[in-house]
Structure 1
Amino acid sequence: MGRPRTPLLDRERITTTALELVDAQGDFSVPQIARRLGVQTGSVYHHVDGREGIVELLRERVAEGIDVSALELRPWDEALAAWARSYRAAFAAHPRAIPLLMTSPVRAPRVLEQYERAVALLLDAGFPLADVMPVLVALENVVLGSALDLAAPEAMWEIADETATPRLAEALDAVGDRRADAAFELALEGFLDHARRRRETHAAL
């Protein structure tokens, strides 16, 4: 019997299956992936560097949705804002992957290259070296927190008696279905304003 034209197992299929599991249940195991693909667990390990290798494949897959070209925009704050919005959208599509990816070291070369470009953007803009990573991590906190917020139920506050919390009810009515987007834009604006001030303070020294 000849070999099948389509390989039974490869890194793409492993990544896709792992992401489906994460989207459904927030995590994955190698035996689960093997069962879904109809292969032995050991066969999966022939294609990936263990569980950590699969996590990095997931990181690369999710990060493919980020528009890296945004980092080429100028001025720097427009580039960072555009990158942040794209970053948020990519992770909002897979919110259950966020705890998994954010609690393991970043090793994927294509993702590291994206950080390299973001660091270069900030250095070229005049940020002091010691501020670069705090700025990027703070931006990630805004982005990923908002990505999780997008996955939350639309009605996060269930008010049975509006007479007991009338101001809360009015505030929720006023923001309507744009709560998550409005909150993200507010946080992003505040972050960028603070980053601009830090940069200006450094430039004045």
Structure 2
Amino acid sequence: MGRPRRPLLDRERITTTALEIVDEKGEFSVPQIAKRLGVQTASVYHHVDGRDGIVELLRERVATGIDAATLDLPHWDDAMAAWARSYRSAFAAHPRAIPLLMTSPVRAPKVLHQYEKAVGRLLDAGFALPDVMPVIIALENLVLGSALDLAAPETMWELADEAATPRLARALGAIPEGRADQAFELALTGYLSHVRAAYAP
């Protein structure tokens, strides 16, 4: 038999398959990947650095949806806001991957480079070095919480008896369409206002 034109297994196919499984189940295992690809588990380990290596491949894949060019905008606050919106959009496409990626250390070089750029953007704007990572981490917390909110049902409160919570019922009835986007923009505006007042030079 001739050799197949395309290898049966490579890092790209492993990453794609792992992400499909995470999108379905919120978790993955190497045997699950191998089974879906029709190969032996040992064959998968031949291409990746164990389970942690696959997690970093997933991180890189999801992060490709973040537009790092947003960090080049002239004003630091516009840059961080645009980066946050792009970051949110990328992770909202794979909400079940968020707990997996946010509970393991970031090692992927391409992702670390994006953090390097964000740190540089704030330092160039005059932020004090000790303030830089808290500002970035707080923004990430906002972004990832909102990305999960985008995957939530449009109505998160089910009232069995509206008479028992009448004000809540009225407030829920007044929620405009696109509540997740509105809540995100409200939180982002508040975050930027606080950072300007407390940390910006």
Q: Report how many aligned residue pairs link the two structures.
A: 201
Output the CA distance in 1 between the equivalents of 2:115 and 2:121: 10
Which letter maps to 1:169?
A: A
Aligned to 2:162, the other structure's residue is in SS state coil
Q: In the TM superposition, what is the alpha-carbon distance from 1:119 to its structure 2 partner?
A: 0.2
- What TM-score, normalized to structure 1? 0.95
Indicate conservation of the 8 Å contact 1:72/1:79, yes or no.
yes
Per-residue deviation, 1:6: 1.2
- Answering whether residue 143 of structure 2 is matched by residue 143 of structure 1, we say yes
Cα deviation per residue 1:3-58 (whole Å; 9 max; x = unaligned)? 10011001010000000010011110000000000000000011100000000000
Alignment of 1:46-65 (within 5 A): 46-65=46-65
Mapped partners of 1:55, 1:142: distance in 2: 22
Instruction: Tell me how far 1:83 sits from its aligned partner.
Output: 0.4
The DSSP-based 3-state class of the residue aligned with 1:191 is helix
Tell me the residue number matched to 1:8: 8
Q: After superposition, give the CA deviation of every residue in 1:118-176 in whole Å (9 maximum; x if it has no partner).
A: 00010011110000000000000000001111111111101232222221122122223
Structure 1 CA distance for aligned equivalents of residues 107 and 36 of structure 2: 26
CA RMSD of aligned residues (A): 0.9
Identity of aligned residues (%): 77
**Could you tell which deviates more after superposition, 136-145 or 179-188?**
179-188
**2:127 is matched with which residue?**
127
Any residues of structure 2 matched to 1:148-167 within 5 Å, and which?
Answer: 148-167=148-167
Q: Which residue of structure 2 aligns with residue 34 of structure 1?
A: 34
Counterpart amino acid of 2:104? S
CA contact (8 A) 1:142 1:188 kept: yes
Q: Helix, strand or coil for the counterpart of 1:39?
A: coil
SS of equivalent residue, structure 1 residue 175: coil
Look up the SS of the partner of 2:107 in the other structure: coil
State the TM-score, normalized to the length of structure 2.
0.97
Query: Structure 1 CA distance, aligned partners of 2:88 and 2:158?
Result: 26
Distance 1:159 1:74 in 2: 47
| AA of the residue aligned to 1:76 | W
- Conserved? CA contact 1:126–1:199, under 8 Å: no
CA distance in 2, matches of 1:19, 1:94: 8
Which amino acid is 1:165 matched to? T
Residue aligned with 1:121, SS: helix
The SS at the match of 2:175 is helix
2:39 match: secondary structure: coil
